[in-house]
Amino acid sequence: MGKKSIETLVGFFVLLGMLGLVFLAMKAANLGSVGGGDTYLVQARFDNIGGLKVRAPVRTAGVTVGRVTQIALDKKTYQGVVSMEIDRAYQYPKDSAAKILTAGLLGDQYIGLDPGGDDKNLAPGDTVPQTQSAVVLENLIGQVLSSKADAPAGAASGATK
């Protein structure tokens, strides 16, 4: 094998490695499904969006059905308004519910859509009527600590007479 063919082979493997790194970077940045397929836009209002980010997945039963496209603050109600693009293949009833969930204990947050039972479907531009805000871990820990501090000394340690 000549020197030129070895250099060409090494260059090919370096290029292949760079393409692999770009692919992994796009997956890590949640940009793997760049596409602009046929979608429709819906909104949901939350009291607290936690660490939800634009491009976060929208899932039903663990299946990604859309993406978060925009997060804004309503200046009148002071609620977070989350805009989502949903694939047209998935039609949701008007009484569906949206929750902000966390992948794992400390993972990324995403929107979970639970379908309702209404005969009419959400139309483009509609707002999901039922929402559940994000559970903020710091607030949960603070509530547990404050409830332990308020409990009588014997009750917290489990001591009995």
Give me the residue spans of the domains in the chain: 1-32, 39-136
pLDDT tens-digit series, residues 20-68: 988 888 777 655 554 457 889 999 999 988 888 999 999 999 899 999 9
> What distances in angstroms separate CA 59 from CA 29, 39, 67, 103, 128, one per listed residue?
17, 14, 9, 11, 14
pLDDT tens-digit series, residues 32-45: 554 457 889 999 99
